[in-house]
Amino acid sequence: PAVIRRVDYQPFGWLVPRLELDFQLGLTDTRVAATLHVERNPAATPTGQIRLNGEGLAPLEVTVDGQPTSLWRMAGDDLVLDLPGTAHTIGLVTRIDPAANTQLSGLYASGGMLCTQCEAEGFRRITFFPDRPDVLSIYSVRMSGDADAFPVLLSNGNLTARGDNGDGTHWAEWHDPWPKPSYLFALVAGRLVANRDTFTTRSGRKVDLAIYVREAGAGEEDDLPRTAHAMASLKRSMTWDEEQFGREYDLDTFNIVAVSDFNAGAMENKGLNVFNTKYVLADEETATDGDFDAVEGVIAHEYFHNWSGNRVTCRDWFQLSLKEGFTVLRDQLFSQDMGSAPVKRIEDVRVLRGAQFPEDSGPLAHPIRPDEYREISNFYTATVYNKGAEVIRMMRVMAGEERFRAGCDLYFDRHDGEAATCEDFVKAIEDGAGLDLNQFRLWYAQAGTPRVTVRLDHAGDVATLHLAQVVPPTPGQPDKRPMPIPLKVALFDRASGIHAGEQLVVLDRAQQSFSFPGFATRPVLSINRGFTAPVSIEHAAPVEDLVFLAARDDDPFARYEAMQELVVGHLKDVVDGKLSASERDAGRAAIAGALAAVIADPALDDLMRGELLILPSQTYIAEQMLIADPGTIHHERQALRGALARALEGEFVALHQRASAVPGGLNAAARGARKVKTQALVYLAEGNPDLAEQMAAAQYDAADTMTDRQGALMVLAGLKGPQRTHKLLDFYQRYRSNPLVVDKWFGLQAGSLHPHAIEHVKALATHPDFNLKNPNRVRSLYMVFAANPAAFHAEDGEGYRMLADLIIALDPVNPQTAARFVPPLGRWRRIEPRRAALMRAELERIAATPGLSRDTAEQVGRSLG
Ligand code: B3K
Ligand code: ZN
């Protein structure tokens, strides 16, 4: 399969200013008539042909200017048509079978309804079209279908007409006045019910809002009441974007539809967002506090795309981070404003380190603006999304909030209605914010997480900060240039415990030193405060400095960071066999002391306390080592947890009791209490399993929220006592008719610390509720399993075999989702040699499977490469 390269970009030869679509809907047979109004693109080389992309389509009728024509041919999946003049009307008819579409790309059926997913290249599975984001058209859509099966008929824009055909079928017409690329097209038809509301924009436009869910069938739950949080989140997003970015909504209607079979989280189709039910439905009985936050964040993200993505879209898919990185930053800033800003920042950094850093240091590393791909679906990555957001966040740090805003305003003004590039964005920030980003552009081009080595010298009354950066080699990029790295730093006076103000230093050379006078004694360094740069800091800070910062840094992120460093440094030494038994015990005692201070600190709210209690993840610890032994890391991490729990048993029990007495609700205090409650159980489970079992069972029984119930069950799932079986059974029976909660039930077992977790996963794969065709269900079992170190990295390679078997079985059904399971196996080069060989062998077995999809073949090829 062909490699697509960024440098090969050419404007398309034709413009398609208008497109009319006519759908005759049926679950197994939908007829699509498309009318393309095309004219020569003055910006492109003149051509007498047009190439229309298709995938798995056969043209049933082809006309030009109303006349049947034979001047067309198939070129692979594409249709190539001769066009002699400068402007024509092309008519095309295709037929598709939505029920047979298990890839969930294009038009497909889900639970009796019809819906679409076109990004990135699904539109070509519906009709022949120049399926690329720089071809923008005004869409008019007509659809007709059975009035009983499809009482609700939706598409982008505004409803312009509807009627009854008198034969049991009916029709609707939708018109979207805003030109858009084909990837933003959407159609939904089905038996849906809506939660309706309105929003008035600041210029006075009244917008009708609706969140649609499938009407409940017999034995199904009514999801409508579970959309209230999503609706409230949507209205908050609309207000926030007006206030913080000056962006107003631009249609009279905004519709959201929740679908349970969905490859991604959600999709920002113009005026008709389609969502995975997971990111719409939430109530306290069935969704955790984390789920509530995820719904709010994803609702905001898709809504914000209306400007960053839809009004200004991408010229080509190499520019994906233009809309995704920017929109992730926007949703992160929104969530920071809606809840606890420091806690949100910590969560976002945890995601970056857990998902993006490993990507950047592995075989799939790519710049946030990639240079080449075979299958674009493989580039919806943590790098493009999360590192992309960090790169724009750095510009914001360097410019300051106001000037950054001026740059964003200029970007939206300058490129409204256009398909833009990452370069356009950087230039607008440069011009609007008055910032020189010449060297900064390297962040778009170079992959790999920079390593910044830090040394603090002290002589006389001057402290000198010596910084050095290395951007590691990545596939296809052996040599790197130094990049500008903005680091917020503070130097604490040891005695008074305060600092004289935070400063921003920008490291833009391979090595650089910065002097800070006025320190009679050696200060304590706090660096990369707020995580201003997505880099890894290598600083051999003395343990007493980390303890100092963990207890009193006024930057909450830095405080969290010191706590993590304390633990990571210790575990690294333990795993490397560097510590004697007494040194190890001294290390544990230092950590226990810091934890005790965190538990007792009255100045901390519980949400933040909960963050400070979280041990660094297995992935993050493994990332710090060139070659990791997952078994040893897991063992030592658990052993440390057990030692801490034994040292602080009284504290954890008291914390649990104190938090259990906090009244419920969705406020920060109640949420914080729930967070530390389960944290306490997680520790106790390792130190005193019998006590933890009893406390977790009691928390489960007393739970009036899913947060408490799931937290308790998570702990029980890892224990061997009888309560495990009782509560897992109870949970299933209680929630078996709620698919999203059944997903949790699968996930809790797949991710558990139980020594037989691998057997449990095997058994669950044959459970009647397991379903290869539903991506949420597949992920709830196998993605969680692949992230469960003890189970997935079983010494005999059984975990690797199971994941490879899944990929091979899933690939013909849903290649996009199948390819997402490759990266965990692709980490083999960073794993100790015995396991590495087993992982590699599984990748080779997948590679040798006949008929592998482009999606999976690309990921496996790069992983072996
Ligand atoms: N833009 C969509 C991504 C769709 C992915 C398709 N493979 C969701 C989002 O980022 O908002
Ligand atoms: Zn997005």
Q: List the chain domain ranges.
A: 1-189, 313-445, 451-533, 736-865
Amino acid at 112: G
Q: Is 320 in the pocket of ligand 1 (CB under 6 A)?
A: no
Q: Is 377 in the pocket of ligand 1 (CB under 6 A)?
A: yes
- Give me ligand 1 centre to Cα 266, in Å: 6
pLDDT band at 828 (very low <50, low <70, confident <90, very high): very high
Instruction: Give CA–CA dist 514/653, Å, rounded.
Output: 47
Instruction: Give CA–CA dist 764/692, Å, rounded.
Output: 26
Instruction: Give CA–CA dist 819/35, Å, rounded.
Output: 35
pLDDT at 200: 99
CB 27 within 8 A of CB 112: yes
- Which tokens sit at 643? 């030692």
Q: Is 289 in the pocket of ligand 1 (CB under 6 A)?
A: no
Q: What atom in ligand 1 is closest to the CA of residue 266?
A: 8
Q: Which residues contact 563 (CB under 8 A, 6 or more apart)?
A: 546, 550, 594, 598, 612
Class of the CATH-defined domain 313-445: mainly alpha
Kindly tell me the burial class for residue 151, based on how many C-beta atoms sit within 10 Å of its own C-beta (0-12, 13-18, 19 or more): middle
Which protein residue's CA is at the shortest distance from atom 8 of ligand 1? 267
What number of CA atoms fall less than 13 Å from residue 751's CA on the CB side?
Answer: 16
Ligand nearest to the CA of 817: 1
Q: Is 545 in the pocket of ligand 1 (CB under 6 A)?
A: no
Task: State which of 305, 310, 314 you would mutate to test the pocket of ligand 1, scoring each by most atoms of that ligand within 8 A of its C-beta.
Answer: 305
pLDDT at 484: 98
Q: Is 104 in the pocket of ligand 1 (CB under 6 A)?
A: no
Q: Is 648 in the pocket of ligand 1 (CB under 6 A)?
A: no
Instruction: Give CA–CA dist 177/67, Å, rounded.
Output: 28
- Give me ligand 2 centre to Cα 327, in Å: 6
Catalytic residue among 302, 359, 390, 651: 302
pLDDT band at 1 (very low <50, low <70, confident <90, very high): low
- Give me ligand 1 centre to Cα 340, in Å: 26
- The 8-class DSSP code of residue 10 comes to -
How far is residue 462 from each of residues 141, 515, 517, 542, 546, measured CA to CA in Å? 70, 7, 4, 19, 21
Ligand nearest to the CA of 326: 2
- Give me ligand 1 centre to Cα 611, in Å: 29
Task: State which of 116, 121, 123, 267 you would mutate to test the pocket of ligand 1, scoring each by most atoms of that ligand within 8 A of its C-beta.
Answer: 267
CATH number of 451-533: 2.60.40.1840
- Give me ligand 1 centre to Cα 645, in Å: 42
Q: Is 380 in the pocket of ligand 1 (CB under 6 A)?
A: yes
ipTM of the complex: 0.99
Mean pLDDT to the nearest integer, 562-583: 97
Q: Is 301 in the pocket of ligand 1 (CB under 6 A)?
A: yes
Q: How many CB atoms neighbour CB 758 within 10 A?
A: 20
pLDDT digits (tens, 9 = 90+) for 296-354: 999 999 999 999 999 999 999 999 999 999 999 999 999 999 999 999 999 999 999 99
- Give me ligand 1 centre to Cα 213, in Å: 20
Q: Which residues contact 162 (CB under 8 A, 6 or more apart)?
A: 153, 170, 171, 172, 173
Q: What atom in ligand 1 is closest to the CA of residue 328?
A: 10
Which protein residue's CA is at the shortest distance from atom 1 of ligand 1? 267
Q: What atom in ligand 1 is closest to the CA of residue 309?
A: 1
Parallel/antiparallel/unpaired status of strands 137-146 and 192-200: unpaired
- Which tokens sit at 502? 């935070």
CB 252 within 8 A of CB 206: yes
Q: Report every protein residue that has its C-beta within 5 angstroms of ion ligand 2.
A: 324, 327
DSSP string, 472-507: --BTTB-------EEEEEEEE-TTT--BS--EEEEE
Which protein residue's CA is at the shortest distance from atom 2 of ligand 1? 267
CB 538 within 8 A of CB 494: no
Q: Quick one: what percent of the chain has pLDDT higher than 70?
A: 100
Query: Vertex 811, ends 809 and 815: CA angle to 5°?
Result: 155
Q: Is 647 in the pocket of ligand 1 (CB under 6 A)?
A: no
Q: Is 741 in the pocket of ligand 1 (CB under 6 A)?
A: no
Q: Is 855 in the pocket of ligand 1 (CB under 6 A)?
A: no
Task: State which of 272, 302, 328, 816 you would mutate to test the pocket of ligand 1, scoring each by most atoms of that ligand within 8 A of its C-beta.
Answer: 302
Ligand nearest to the CA of 118: 1
CB 127 within 8 A of CB 57: yes
Q: Is 268 in the pocket of ligand 1 (CB under 6 A)?
A: yes
- Give me ligand 2 centre to Cα 858, in Å: 23
Q: Is 267 in the pocket of ligand 1 (CB under 6 A)?
A: yes
Dihedral of the alpha carbons of 183, 187, 188, 194, in degrees to the nearest 10: 90
Fold classified for 736-865:
Zincin-like fold (1.25.50)
Instruction: Give CA–CA dist 246/361, Å, rounded.
Output: 38
Which protein residue's CA is at the shortest distance from atom 10 of ligand 1? 324
Q: Quick one: what percent of the chain has pLDDT higher than 90?
A: 100
Q: Is 116 in the pocket of ligand 1 (CB under 6 A)?
A: no
- The 8-class DSSP code of residue 533 comes to S
Ligand nearest to the CA of 816: 1
Query: Mean pLDDT over all residues of the chain?
Result: 98
Which protein residue's CA is at the shortest distance from atom 9 of ligand 1? 267
Q: Is the pLDDT of residue 855 over 90?
A: yes
DSSP string, 798-854: HHHHHHHHHHHHHTTT-HHHHHTTSHHHHGGGGB-HHHHHHHHHHHHHHHTSTT--H
pLDDT at 401: 98
Which protein residue's CA is at the shortest distance from atom 3 of ligand 1? 267
Q: What atom in ligand 1 is closest to the CA of residue 298?
A: 11
Q: Is the pLDDT of residue 809 over 70?
A: yes
- Give me ligand 1 centre to Cα 704, in Å: 34
pLDDT at 546: 98
Instruction: Give CA–CA dist 823/364, Å, rounded.
Output: 8
Q: What atom in ligand 1 is closest to the CA of residue 324?
A: 10
- Give me ligand 2 centre to Cα 402, in Å: 24
Please check whether the two domains, 451-533 and 736-865, share a CATH topology.
no
The reply to whether CATH 2.60.40.1730 applies to domain 1-189 is yes
Q: Is the pTM of this model over 0.80?
A: yes
pLDDT digits (tens, 9 = 90+) for 423-434: 999 999 999 999
- Give me ligand 2 centre to Cα 341, in Å: 21
- Give me ligand 2 centre to Cα 742, in Å: 27
Q: Is 443 in the pocket of ligand 1 (CB under 6 A)?
A: no
Task: State which of 380, 381, 853 you would mutate to test the pocket of ligand 1, scoring each by most atoms of that ligand within 8 A of its C-beta.
Answer: 380
Q: What atom in ligand 1 is closest to the CA of residue 117?
A: 6
- Give me ligand 2 centre to Cα 433, in Å: 25
Its sign, for the CA torsion 808, 809, 814, 820, is negative
Cis peptide before 120 (omega within 30 of 0): yes
Parallel/antiparallel/unpaired status of strands 419-420 and 313-314: parallel
**Distance between first and last Cα of the chain:** 16
Q: Is 120 in the pocket of ligand 1 (CB under 6 A)?
A: yes
Q: What atom in ligand 1 is closest to the CA of residue 377?
A: 7
Does residue 372 have an active-site annotation?
A: no
C-beta contacts of 616-622 below 8 A and 24+ residues apart: 616/564, 616/567, 616/568, 616/571, 617/350, 617/353, 617/354, 618/789, 619/353, 619/354, 619/358, 619/787, 620/353, 620/354, 620/357, 620/564, 620/568, 621/568, 621/571, 621/572, 621/575, 622/830
Instruction: Give CA–CA dist 105/115, Å, rounded.
Output: 10
